[in-house]
Chain A
Amino acid sequence: MNEELDLRGLSCPEPIVRTLNKLNQMKTGKLKILVDTGTSRDNVTRIAQKEGWTVNSEESNDECILTVTKE
């Protein structure tokens, strides 16, 4: 199941909290996350990787799309 999470405009620690809630709820699958600051990108990437998810990032127009997957 592919899911999406829009974290643009949210400040610390909300992006991490919402990401963790979503990942814990999904358990496995693919999640597309939209972030708009370097801090959110780094924090979400680090936390998702720590939880065992694979993270790919793609920068576009001041924003970043993180694709987070777990088999």
Chain B
Amino acid sequence: MLSFFSTRKGIIVAGILIGFFASFLQKMGNPPNMGICVACMERDIAGALGLHRAAVVQYMRPEIIGFVLGAFIAALIFKEFKSRTGSAPIIRFMLGFFAMIGSLVFLGCPWRMLLRLAGGDGNAILGALGLIAGVWIGVLFIKKGFSLGRSQKTYSIVGLIMPVIMISFLLLLLFKPQLPSGALFFSTEGPGSKYASIALSLGIAIIIGFIAQRTRFCTMGSIRDVILIKDFHLISGIIAMLISAFIANLVFNQFKPGFAEQPIAHTNHIWNFGGMLLAGLAFALAGGCPGRQLFMSGEGNGDASIFVLGMIGGAAFSHNFAIASTPKGVDLWGPGAVIIGIIFCLVIGFTMREK
């Protein structure tokens, strides 16, 4: 028997809520077209911790904390919390690392790509096409037997690590310790300085984490399922999210169509496409979009947790090594890093196959 959350109606309701909440968070102070962006917000956390020193993108985002904790609560209530790990952890770390690099060259994960579309940012069309292309390449590997191998059951404490890390981050956010190094870092200008209240962001994120854990909401998975098995279940939720955010943006006067001077975006079509191609491919090989990886980490999935840590590591690298784009365009090493990431994904796609 499938619960309501597992039905088509369930995933559509989830999409509508997530789309509305994302647009609402922008209205309440989050950066434009970035009500929820898993990649950007993990990058901001890397900045808050001082793993990179890009002064404009440093904030301990409660949305990421709430996603994990919401999924954790749902998994506990519905008896789906299971500690598991051991499915190619280092490869998952590197997939997370390169997924973040691709996302930061585009300037957004698949969630923000949808929100940018819903806000009228035409550059996100190239991102969407790149994402589809990347997932399509991933599907080709999956059809040929690509596998990261089986995970194993393990001690409960292993699955609790990520929720505990998130509670620690929440304590850092609430008490804002100031150490001689300058940590905790908080932007005073730029996207990192724009945020809704902690209580609102955290509350909404916990609700989203809860719903997404129940519905298995996944942006990458929605495209993959259409290409791989012609299943339109997940994508109906994603389309609902897009439409809901679009309508909410119209209501909140946040819809501004065009390509030029879009918020926190650039107009380099080739690398908007290329960045998301890499991200889509990495997400497809890792079996979930960045949001889904967070929700799975809340369910006790140690492999998804490693992917998340890989993304945070990737964010630090991106800003320290001139890889992340800026509204002015791609940075010095951005295109090269995307090419290296694509080569990495192709190599593991060709070599990690079950006979």
Tell me the A residues contacting B by CB distance below 8 Å.
Answer: 8-14, 16-17, 20, 36-39, 42-43, 45-47, 50, 57, 62
**B151 x A11 contact (CB < 8 A):** yes
Interface bits B225-241 vs A (CB < 8 Å: 1, else 0): 10011010100000000
In the complex, number of A-B residue pairs with CB atoms less than 8 Å apart: 62
Is B355 part of the contact surface with A, judged by Cβ < 8 Å?
A: no
Q: Which residues of B in the span 272-306 have a Cβ within 8 Å of any Cβ on A?
A: 287-288, 299, 303
**B303 x A11 contact (CB < 8 A):** yes
Can you pick out 11 interface pairs between chain A and chain B where the beta carbons lie within 8 Å of each other?
A: A9-B151, A9-B152, A10-B147, A13-B221, A13-B225, A13-B287, A17-B229, A36-B82, A37-B80, A37-B82, A57-B1
**B1 x A39 contact (CB < 8 A):** no
Within 8 Å by CB of B2, from A8, A14, A46, lies A46
Q: Which chain B positions have C-beta within 8 A of A11?
A: 87, 148, 151, 287-288, 303
**A10 x B82 contact (CB < 8 A):** no
**B142 x A17 contact (CB < 8 A):** yes
Number of residues of chain B lying within 8 A (CB) of chain A: 29
Complex: chain A residue closest to B225, CB-CB: A13
**B142 x A13 contact (CB < 8 A):** yes
Q: Which chain B positions have C-beta within 8 A of A43?
A: 216
Q: Which residues of B in the span 65-85 have a Cβ within 8 Å of any Cβ on A?
A: 78, 80, 82, 84
**A38 x B84 contact (CB < 8 A):** no
Most buried by B among A38, A43, A47, A57: A38
CA distance A10 to B86 in the complex (A): 11
Q: Which chain A positions have C-beta within 8 A of B143?
A: 17
Q: Which chain B positions have C-beta within 8 A of A38?
A: 78, 80
CA distance A47 to B6 in the complex (A): 12
Q: Which chain B positions have C-beta within 8 A of A8?
A: 150
CA distance A39 to B147 in the complex (A): 18
Minimum distance in angstroms from A14 CB to a CB of chain B: 6
Query: Chain A interface mostly helix, strand, loop or mixed?
Result: helix
Complex: chain B residue closest to A50, CB-CB: B231
Q: Which chain A positions have C-beta within 8 A of B319?
A: none
Q: Which chain A positions have C-beta within 8 A of B216?
A: 39, 42-43
Q: Which chain A positions have C-beta within 8 A of B80?
A: 37-38
**A9 x B87 contact (CB < 8 A):** yes
CA distance A14 to B287 in the complex (A): 9
Complex: chain B residue closest to A14, CB-CB: B147
Q: Which chain A positions have C-beta within 8 A of B151?
A: 9, 11
CA distance A9 to B218 in the complex (A): 19
Within 8 Å by CB of B228, from A10, A13, A50, lies A13
**A47 x B148 contact (CB < 8 A):** no
CA distance A42 to B152 in the complex (A): 20
Instruction: List 11 extra interface pairs beyond A9-B87, A10-B147, A16-B225, CB under 8 A.
Output: A9-B151, A12-B221, A12-B288, A13-B142, A13-B229, A14-B147, A16-B228, A36-B84, A37-B84, A39-B216, A45-B2
Minimum distance in angstroms from A59 CB to a CB of chain B: 9
Q: Which chain A positions have C-beta within 8 A of B287?
A: 11-14
CA distance A57 to B321 in the complex (A): 51
Interface bits B206-234 vs A (CB < 8 Å: 1, else 0): 00000000001010010011001101010
Complex: chain B residue closest to A8, CB-CB: B150
**A16 x B229 contact (CB < 8 A):** yes
**A62 x B229 contact (CB < 8 A):** no
Contacts A9-B150, A36-B82 given; does A17 touch B228 at CB 8 Å: yes
Complex: chain A residue closest to B138, CB-CB: A13
Pairs of residues from A and B, 3 with the lowest C-beta to C-beta distance, nearest first = A9-B150, A38-B80, A12-B287
